[in-house]
Amino acid sequence: LTRLEVPAPAAQPISRPRLRAGVVGLGRQAVEDHLPALSLSHNAYLAAVCDTDPSKAAIAESYNVPFYDSVDLMLLEQELDFAVVTAPHAAHLAIVESAINARVHVLKEKPFAISLDDARRIARLALAADVRVMTTLQRRFNPIYNAFEQLLPMIGRPYFIDAAYTTVVDEPHAGWRGRRVTAGGGCLLDMGYHLVDLLIWYFGLPDAVSAVTSASATETIGEVEDTASVQLMYRDGPHGMIVVSRRFPPKRERFIVLGTDGVLQVERGRLRRFNNSGAVTEELYRRFGWPSAFVSQVEYFCAVIRGERPNIGSPNHQLAHVATIESCYESAVTGRFVAPASKLEVDDCVQTCTPWWRTDPGRQSK
């Protein structure tokens, strides 16, 4: 027998230096998700934190890292590899610009931007500086939502989408989320961004959207919407509805697609496929999974920075999301359907999938 010559694997360091991360904005999202995720990461560690509110210095103490009330000073002193941006929406642009100017990569909370102009600006700056910017959308790191994509072909040709993300907040118009100047928009831009991401992930850019919004869930009328309903349609494909509300108890999330051969439904932690008689044909649970989705997200971003993974939340991907939301807001004012594609310019480098029923029109159903 001739021994097969197996080439020796390229020398790989057993462990690589972990990347230095700084978190900007120490509110609920940072405390509940991003700081714990960094503590559990094998590829990154928390080096410093920043918040404009000095009372948040206690958080720095509990993690034993330096606290800054200025992002520019933190970037100057800390030699960070990346910044995690979890501040109010309207503050994102200036923070991201500072990081890009300092050649520091950015893992930023949704929304990618509060307007297409801001989105284009970040995309341009990041490209010019060769800096990775990734928007955090944790459903992409939850196997339930990945399985949804894998199972979509099982239900044949999709014809209807029913999506909702609702919660209940005592005072939906209080705090920075209640003001246009700090939030950039209401529940549609905030929670709705997650549903728009699922829509674009599974089906690509919708061909037309029409939205109705209201800010009247409490006695005091709000400045930005607390409730929104969006009608959407794909040419030759499904049409459907998205409902988002900050005042619609109990807290719920669902994304349902009706197809010629059945129904696929994802709720928090559970995926089910039904046949056309309504019987469950497949079921998948994922309990207690959100914390690990945030860890996976950090690990993935480290791989993006190292050039080992594609940036699935890049500015080019997010232009489609911002165009869709901006179209909804325009429609809420004009009362007309708006085509998100009409918001995009020829110079925009947009990455989004083409719905399979357009690339493979012969595949009607099983």
Ligand X SMILES: NC(=O)c1ccc[n+]([C@@H]2O[C@H](COP(=O)([O-])OP(=O)(O)OC[C@H]3O[C@@H](n4cnc5c(N)ncnc54)[C@H](O)[C@@H]3O)[C@@H](O)[C@H]2O)c1
Residues 325, 193 contacting (CB under 8 angstroms): yes
Least distance (Å) between residue 279 CB and ligand X: 33
Q: How many Cα atoms sit within 13 Å of 188 on the Cβ side?
A: 33
Distance CA 342, CA 258 (A): 28
Q: What angle do CA 286, 291, 294 make, to 5 degrees?
A: 110
Distance CA 340, CA 321 (A): 9
Q: Work out which of 87, 93, 187, 266 binds ligand X, going by CB under 6 A.
A: 87
Residues 56-75 that bind ligand X (CB under 6 A): 56, 71
Q: Identify the burial level of 203 via C-beta atoms within 10 angstroms of its C-beta, where 0-12 means exposed, 13-18 middle and 19 or more buried.
A: buried
Dihedral in degrees, nearest 10, Cα atoms 278, 281, 282, 287? 40
Phi (first) and psi of residue 131, to 5 degrees = -110, 140
Nearer of residues 110 and 343 to ligand X, judged by Cβ = 110
Nearer of residues 98 and 314 to ligand X, judged by Cβ = 98
Written as six digits, the tokens of 80 are 């960070």
Residue 53 within binding range of ligand X, rule CB under 6 A = yes
Encoded one letter per residue, x for contact with ligand X by CB under 6 A and - for no contact, window 181-220 reads ---------x------------------------------
- Closest chain position to ligand X (CB): 27
Least distance (Å) between residue 183 CB and ligand X: 9
Q: Identify the burial level of 12 via C-beta atoms within 10 angstroms of its C-beta, where 0-12 means exposed, 13-18 middle and 19 or more buried.
A: exposed
Residue 313 within binding range of ligand X, rule CB under 6 A = no
Residue 52 within binding range of ligand X, rule CB under 6 A = yes
Residue 321 within binding range of ligand X, rule CB under 6 A = no
Residue 171 within binding range of ligand X, rule CB under 6 A = no
Q: Work out which of 19, 37, 47, 50 binds ligand X, going by CB under 6 A.
A: 50
Least distance (Å) between residue 282 CB and ligand X: 27
Interface region with ligand X, contact rule CB under 6 A, candidates 86-94, 201-209, 240-248, 261-269: 86-94
The alpha carbon dihedral of 319, 322, 328, 331 has a sign of negative
Written as six digits, the tokens of 245 are 């509300």
Written as six digits, the tokens of 74 are 């933190």
Q: Write down the residue that tokens 């050649």 correspond to.
A: 103
Least distance (Å) between residue 249 CB and ligand X: 18
Residue 91 within binding range of ligand X, rule CB under 6 A = yes
Residue 88 within binding range of ligand X, rule CB under 6 A = yes
Q: How many Cα atoms sit within 13 Å of 151 on the Cβ side?
A: 24
Nearer of residues 18 and 20 to ligand X, judged by Cβ = 20
Encoded one letter per residue, x for contact with ligand X by CB under 6 A and - for no contact, window 9-48 reads ---------------xxxxxxx------------------
Phi (first) and psi of residue 110, to 5 degrees = -70, 155
Distance CA 65, CA 219 (A): 44
Strand partners, 109: 136
Nearer of residues 26 and 328 to ligand X, judged by Cβ = 26
Least distance (Å) between residue 179 CB and ligand X: 12
Nearer of residues 208 and 328 to ligand X, judged by Cβ = 328
Residue 80 within binding range of ligand X, rule CB under 6 A = no
Least distance (Å) between residue 325 CB and ligand X: 13
- DSSP class of residue 32 equals I
Phi (first) and psi of residue 124, to 5 degrees = -65, -45
Residue 155 within binding range of ligand X, rule CB under 6 A = no
Q: Residue count at the site for ligand X (CB under 6 A)?
A: 25
Nearer of residues 31 and 152 to ligand X, judged by Cβ = 31
Query: What are the residues binding ligand X (CB under 6 A)?
Result: 24-30, 50-53, 56, 71, 86-89, 91, 95, 109-110, 136, 138, 176, 190
